[in-house]
């Protein structure tokens, strides 16, 4: 399902809610910036979490106002890049929300810039 190529390096299925229902929502700005990131690093950008429906977001302890609910956020890793390096490059690309976690970076396309670190 959702095996549709939506940019040079991403498929719609990568952004599906992980609850098994195949629901997906993605903001075009998020996709454009993720593709720009992929182009810049020259390596796969792995989407750990994209869209989340409300019940799945609650299940995983997501914020009630999470950008994941709107298809405006993704939790990502890039093999060979540290969380700090990936966050720095994401800021250069133009992501406005950047969260650093132990093993991944949250990126989003919110209206005002925000950066946080949770380890």
The radius of gyration of the chain from alpha carbons, rounded to an integer in Å, stands at 13
Q: Say what the pLDDT of residue 118 is.
A: 92
Q: Say what the pLDDT of residue 52 is.
A: 98
Residue 13 in tokens: 């299925």
Range of the domain at 112: 27-118
Q: Say what the pLDDT of residue 119 is.
A: 74
Give the E-state strand segments of 27-72 in sequence order: 46-49
Edge-to-edge strand ranges of the sheet holding 114-118: 46-49, 73-77, 105-108, 97-101, 114-118
Domain membership flag for residue 14: no
Domain membership flag for residue 105: yes
pLDDT band at 1 (very low <50, low <70, confident <90, very high): confident
Residue 25 in tokens: 């929502």
For the chain, the helix, strand and coil percentages under 3-state DSSP, each to the nearest 5: 35, 20, 45
| pLDDT tens-digit series, residues 28-54 | 999 999 999 999 999 999 999 999 999
The total number of residues written for the chain in this structure: 119
pLDDT mean over 107-111: 97
Q: Say what the pLDDT of residue 104 is.
A: 98
Q: How many domains does the chain have?
A: 1
CATH code assigned at 77: 3.30.1380.10
């Amino acid at each position: 399902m959702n095996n549709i190529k939506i940019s040079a390096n991403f498929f719609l299925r990568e952004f599906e809610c992980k609850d098994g229902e195949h629901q997906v929502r993605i903001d075009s700005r998020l996709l454009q910036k993720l593709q720009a990131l992929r182009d810049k690093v020259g390596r796969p950008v792995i989407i750990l979490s994209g869209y989340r429906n409300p019940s799945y977001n609650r299940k995983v302890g997501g914020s009630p106002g999470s950008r994941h609910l709107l298809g405006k956020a993704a939790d990502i890793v890039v093999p060979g890049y540290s969380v700090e390096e990936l966050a720095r490059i994401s800021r250069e690309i133009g992501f406005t929300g950047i969260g650093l976690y132990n093993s991944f970076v949250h990126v989003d396309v919110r209206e005002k810039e925000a950066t946080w670190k949770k380890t």
